[in-house]
Structure formats: C-alpha cells, structure tokens
Amino acid sequence: MGNMLSAARARMHRAADKLDLAQETVERLDYPTETLAFSIPLRRDDGSLEQLKGWRCRYDSTLGPTKGGIRFHPSVCEDEVQTLAFLMTMKCALMGLPFGGGKGGVSVDAGDLSLMEKERVARGYVRSAARILSPDRDVPAPDVATGTREMAWMVDEYGALTGGIEPHAFTGKPVALGGIEGRTPATGRGGLLALEAMRESLGLDGSDGLSIALQGFGNAGTWFARAAVDAGHRVVAISDSSGMVSDAQGLDIDAVIEAKEKGGSVTDYDGGETSDDGSAIVEVECDVLVLAALGGVIADADDVGKLSCKAIVEIANRPILSAADEPLREAGIDVVPDILANGGGVTISHAEWVQGRTGLGWDAEEVDDYLQEKMEDAAEQVRDLMEDKGLDMRTAAYGVALRRLCAAISATGTAEDFGG
C-alpha cells in the first residue's frame, strides 16, 4: 500500500474511532476492490512510438457503480489513483449518491501532446480499461487535463467497442452528446455552497462579504471565483502555475479570466500587484484560503505556520496532507474538506447519469436546485455530527460517509450475525 493511501486511510480510522462502528466493516474499506494497470501505445505525430502507463481503480462498489475522473498528468501513479478512488468512495457516501468510488489516469504531460495525440491517448485509455467500464459498473468523468472533448472521444470509443449507444457510460460530456447543463461549473459552485453552509461552524457567520485568496484558476477555481463575487465576497488574490495577482479591494474576476485566456496566466491581468511566486498565495491575509490546484500544498506544521487565513476550503483533492491536520487544529484553522467542498461535480454527474438512463432531460433550474439541495443536506449532516461528537469538520465528514458505508456493508452480515 502506498504512502498516500495509507495517510488517507488514517483519516478514515480516526473518524471510525469516534463512532460506534463494527471494526470489520471499516476494515473492508482499507483496500481497493480492484486496480487495473495497463500500457497505452501512443504513436506520436512525428511517427515515433511511446508507451504510456495507465490505471483504473474501482475502490468500493457497496453503494453502487464506481464513479470517478480520469486525469492526464505526469504525477499519476497507482498510489495516487487508488487514493483518489478512496476519496471518491467517501465523497459519494457523504453526498448520499448511489455510487462507489473510482479513479483513473495516465502518466503523461498533457501539455506536451498535440490535439491528435491527446485523442489517441483518450481512445487508447478506453480500449485498455474497457473490461471494467460500463454504466452499471464503473462510470468515468473528466479530471485534470481532461474535459468535455475528451469525454466525447471516450464515449465514442466505448460505443465502438460495445456495439451500443451508451452515453451514460461517461459523464462530463458535451451537452450536444448527452451531457447536462451545469456540469462544468458544478465543482466550483458547489465549493461556494459548501463554504456558505459551513460559515457559522467556521466562525465566519457575519453578514459582511468574505475576503478570499484562491490558489488555482482552472475550471473549478474560475467558477468558484465567479460564484463568490456574485454572492458579495471579495477575491483578493488568485494564483496559477505562472504566478499570482492580488488586490486588497478585490479583483475584477471577468477581467482576470479574459487576461488568462489571452496571455495564459493570471499575471497578465492589468491591475493589482503581480508576483512570479504563485506559492506565496498561502501567506496572503484573508478570511478564507481556497485550494483549487493539485494536492500536497499544505504538507506539515511549517506550511501551517505560513498561513494568514481564518479558514480553508479544499476544492482540489487532498491539498492538505495528514501531517498538517493537528497543526491546523492547534492554530484554530478549520477546513471544509475535499470530500464535501468538491462534491458538486460528482453530484451533477449523478444527474447526468440519471438523465442518460431515463432519457429525460434536466433543465438548468432543476440542476441548480439539485446541487444546492445535495450540498446543503451534506453540510447539515456534517454540522450535526460535529456538534454531537465534538469533532472537527474533516473528521465529521468522514464520519457521515462511514456511517452510510458501514450500514450498507453490515447489511450482508457481520461477525455478530455469524456467531463470531
């Protein structure tokens, strides 16, 4: 078992220790159900052949078909894929969705691929993983460096392999190909809904708008920023892989988006202060630090010591490592954890999956209402468990998820039922 998965499991067991759960049901969640490893031969545009490593993990299917994204990134490895599938298992249970957790990826620098090369990788991934994919078994979605276009390629390839038309075998597709309105902004908008629902628990329950520093300005970060400004908050700093831009009075989000689209970086924004050091975003004084990039940003007590925020929202997966959990508690900085804060994406993926299975479309208002209902319901259950057991927010979120998972696992019998 890899270090990332081990650390994620430790958080689960910490929550389990606070609740009255059968130990054997928790132990069932210690290891993934199956992980498929494979290679994808990529014929480059110059005629050369390159072998890429790929994985697909179905972590647990107790609550339903496994669900999770596919990422193209050099960091992808078996440990990362299994860890993210574990987190998706917890997330789907917390959000009350009829899904288990899955994840997949290819170890490749997507920025080094031409458009045609990326299509070859996407279709090659489906051919390699097809044996465990299906609308009733494992349903992929977009993740890092994949989006609606990659899902269109993948669902087309899957249909060619199965001989059927099954658009609900993938979610996050273009609307014209069976996707759903609202899926693209769902993760970012869901993060803002989670923050609003947990404001009182975070000690940010005043009526004034919040000052927010945002690390990561991809799809999720962009939509979070838009939603935050619409709700009356100030985004005072934004960073991406190229640097940071800040303005204590609040940034013009539309202008930052336009500048990044034209120049490739938030530092191309003509206003505020810019810096080439995007990592300094964690030191910006603000009410809320939103982590919407990759994992491992806050790794230990030293990183916690640099923070100047009152609370953190994890829109990325595992941006805070377990070694930083206790230092954050000691510093009085609570965290809206990833399994709650980024639950909006999979929630609307569920709506898209239902739409595909039934053939009945959802309009934008129905999607918005469903997202708000599911985010607020999950947050309420986390708040209730925090108050009932005196838990921090992350531990309570895991606790809510574990109660659902363990109830389903124990329904088939435990040692007590069999005389153990």
CA–CA separation, 398 and 93 (whole Å): 9
The overall longest dimension of the chain from CA atoms, in Å, is: 71
CA–CA separation, 306 and 48 (whole Å): 46
Which region, left, alpha or beta, applies to residue 296 given φ > 0 means left and ψ of -120 to 50 means alpha?
Answer: left
CA–CA separation, 46 and 314 (whole Å): 41
CA–CA separation, 144 and 159 (whole Å): 24
Indicate if 103 belongs to the active site. Answer: yes
Three-class secondary structure of residue 57 per DSSP: strand
Angle, helix 78-94 to helix 3-18, in steps of 10 degrees: 30
Q: How many helices (H) and strands (E) does the chain have?
A: 14, 12
Please pick, among 91, 103, 173, 374, the residue that the annotation labels catalytic.
103
CA–CA separation, 223 and 148 (whole Å): 16
**Joined tokens for residue 81:** 């894929």
Q: Which of 312, 301, 372 is nearest to 336 (CA)?
A: 312
Other beta carbons within 10 angstroms of residue 209's beta carbon come to 14
Whose tokens are 């962009």? That residue is: 222
CA–CA separation, 290 and 158 (whole Å): 36
CB 283 within 8 A of CB 308: yes
CA–CA separation, 238 and 267 (whole Å): 9
In order, the DSSP letters of 269-333 are -SSSEEES-GGGGGGS-EEEEEE-S-S-SB-SHHHHHT--EEEEEE-SSS-B-GGGHHHHHHHT-
Q: Return the active site residues.
A: 103
